[in-house]
A and B are shown apart, each in its own frame.
Chain A
Amino acid sequence: MYRSPMRHLPIALFTIMAVLALGDSSALCAAAPPLVSSTELVEEADYWDGREVTFEGEAIGDVMVRGSDAWLHLNDDAYAELPIPAGARPQGYNSGHAVFLPAAEARKVTVFGSYRARGDIVRVTGTFKAADPEHGGDMHIAATTLELLEPGFPIERTVPRWKLLLLASLVPVAGASYVAFRNRASALPR
């Protein structure tokens, strides 16, 4: 029985479409640099050196503006969600990355992580530099853009009741120690 070669046409067309679609999506992937963690950048510094990356984290401390550029530090650790002063339990060290970016971009950050606040969560995109000679060999991300993902918030911290009770119970103990010490010292001959 004769079978026309054209019977494979729909499959061939489908395959071509699929390949084109995949090619298109990989092109899209190439357009968006991969999201990396601070641990990946430090542990695989040689691999990432010179590559475009996306990095997300909590802005910490302050922004240090140097002319038209600025230094920013972003932490991508467990405390970027909820810092210890806001009620989180200890979950390890801080970890994050230094970012060098245009000062105009850095000024988008208004809340910095500290005892009093959870900082803004931001996303930066730029080139990872494992040991940048222009900045004394510092490892950093030379970012071009910064996007605010989640605004920071102030941390309201009240004194727990049990701490006040502990304090109140220590006052008479320390007071009694002081009085006893004074009495004992004055009672002994010099």
Chain B
Amino acid sequence: MIRPRRADHALVAAYTGRVIVGVGLLMCIPLVTALLFAEWDVAVDFAVGILASSAIGLGLQTLFHTRHELRRRHGLVVVSVAWLVATAVGAIPFWLSGHMGSVIDASFDVMSGLTTTGLYLIQDLDHVSNGLNMWRHVLTFAGGLGIVVIALTFLFRGTVGAYQLYVGEGKDERLFPNVVHTARAIGSVSLTWLAVGTTVLAVIAFALGQPPARAVLHGLWLFMGGFSTGGFAPQSYNTFWYHSAAFEAACVAIFVAGSLNFALHWALWRGERAEIRRNIEVISFAVTFSVFFAVVSAGLAQSGIYPDAAVFFRKAFYLLASAHTTTGFGTIYSRTLVVQWGPVAMMGIIAAMVIGASTCSTAGGIKGFRVGVITKVFLEDIRRMVSPDSAIVTERFHHIRDYVLQEETVRSVLTITIAYLTMYALMTLIGVMNGYPMVEAAFEGVSAASNTGLSCGVLTPAMPASMRIAYTVAMWLGRVEFLSVFALVGWGIATVRGR
């Protein structure tokens, strides 16, 4: 084990500083919002946040100025540290707002936003300022893109090491040979969706009876919450607020789009429409969605809550799609899941959250790609069993291009899948140990760890602090897909025990 040198630590600190400056720049958006709506108190909160992040970010870059390129291990550690420091800095306006019960809660909400989870501990959300609501949604939108992707787009100039940062944030698709160009392409796709999606939602909200300014703000925020598969909403009622099938349909279109791999977006952007029916992730998602829809339907049929078929479909489809894309939008009260939907339907929703959506998207969970690959391995083994000994059995899959299933891919897929399943089990165990019923503990724990954000009422500001911290860590681990956090732990051990 090689002990990191002083220069290595300096490199990590300097790059972390750049990301922190990026977080400070993002705070300019809620600052302007607060000024536009004459929310002076809130504007001061964001000015404090901007100055603090500038001081920390620029200070780190000054103290540890370097022109060295990042290597793989630096990149992963930078991402881990940057997410932690960004969480701390991003929590400043939350804490100053007076809406948070503790610093733990403020950090929880920022981590939830950045990781596009959507669980929240903010209190009296229905009286929150426009500035703070803007920050909540900017966080989740930026987190969906990846704060490092944003930093890559605006603050880095084509460095080789930038790819390490990009990979460390759970993204591994390269749309272009240059990773900064890839980051900019992701930005372009997302901003185009932002313009279209916000317009559609705002027009519907206006037609539903909201005043123009609120319709525009709600349209923008719900787009950010949906496309990032974050699930934040400006009211405590979430998307139940709107009571509209049209609004729900628009939300589904947006969060499903957000849950697709950016490489798939890019392929469709270039007119390669056949990709949508050939891609392993899309096929995997379609199959698992159908299976879980049957489970949820069985549960709801058992409870008899929705005798009308159209209503039955609308409620079940919306919540399951929201869960499977790890969005977390809902049109029912949290406790309705427990009180009326029942354990079978909840198990269907839990299973959808466990898997999640696509790799290199804004979604969380194990991901459809890994489920697809595991299924292929299973099929390959069956084919091998029934084939002659001399036969060479190979399995192929399509993901932007055709691949032959390699052992290296399988190993990496299984490692991450086992890590996710272990984390889900641990989160459930923590819930049960704190006295919550098994299904409810599993629902909430998986929701946090898969970055979904649906709640059945377990998460409250009164929940034990240990659980709130455990959920925060789970959201972080789930979002960066373990690798960066493991690298940070390894870095720490090497610093202490390495030679």
Chain A residues within CB distance 8 Å of chain B: 42-43, 45-46, 60-66, 70-71, 73, 75, 77, 79, 83-85, 88, 90-96, 98, 100, 113-115, 130-131, 133, 135-140, 157-160, 163-164, 166-167, 170-171, 173-174, 177-178, 180-181, 184-185, 188
Contact = CB atoms under 8 A, between A and B. Distances in A.
Contact of B237 (A73, A135, A173): A73
B279 interface: no
A130 B305 CA distance: 8
A113 B41 CA distance: 18
Given A42-B335, A113-B127, A136 B314 contact: yes
A188 B65 contact: yes
Contacts of B240: 98, 138
Nearest to B61: A181
A64 B65 contact: no
A61 B128 CA distance: 11
A133 B314 contact: no
30 contacts: A43-B335, A46-B340, A61-B214, A79-B126, A79-B127, A90-B101, A90-B461, A92-B460, A93-B236, A94-B125, A96-B236, A96-B237, A98-B237, A114-B127, A133-B306, A133-B311, A136-B243, A137-B311, A138-B240, A139-B333, A159-B40, A163-B41, A163-B44, A167-B44, A167-B51, A170-B48, A170-B52, A178-B54, A184-B61, A184-B65
Given A79-B124, A90-B124, A177 B55 contact: yes
A115 B39 contact: yes
A84 B99 contact: yes
B58 interface: yes
Chain B interface size, under 10 / 10 to 19 / 20 to 34 / 35 or more: 35 or more
Interface of B: 39-41, 44-45, 47-48, 51-52, 54-55, 58-59, 61-62, 65, 67, 96, 98-101, 123-130, 208-211, 214, 235-237, 240-243, 245, 248, 305-308, 310-312, 314-315, 331-333, 335-336, 339-340, 460-462
A164 B100 CA distance: 20
Given A64-B210, A159-B44, A180-B62, 8 more contacts: A43-B339, A90-B100, A137-B305, A138-B331, A157-B41, A170-B48, A174-B58, A178-B58
A83 B209 contact: no
Instruction: Rank and list the top 6 A-B pairs by shortest CB-CB distance, nearest first.
Output: A64-B209, A170-B51, A90-B123, A83-B127, A137-B311, A133-B308
B55 A173 contact: yes
A46 B338 CA distance: 13
Given A159-B40, A184-B62, A115 B129 contact: yes
Given A42-B333, A61-B241, A136-B314, A84 B123 contact: yes
Contacts of B339: 42-43, 45
A131 B55 contact: no
Contacts of B62: 177, 180-181, 184
Given A170-B52, A177-B54, A94 B126 contact: yes
Contacts of A140: 243
A62 B214 contact: yes
B209 A66 contact: yes
B127 A131 contact: no
A86 B68 CA distance: 51
A167 B67 contact: no
Contacts of A43: 335, 339
Given A66-B208, A115-B127, A137 B461 contact: no
Contacts of B333: 42, 139
Contact of B311 (A63, A66, A100, A131): A131
A114 B210 CA distance: 14
B404 to A, nearest CB: 46
Contacts of A45: 336, 339-340
A43 B338 CA distance: 9
A77 B237 CA distance: 13
Contacts of B211: 62
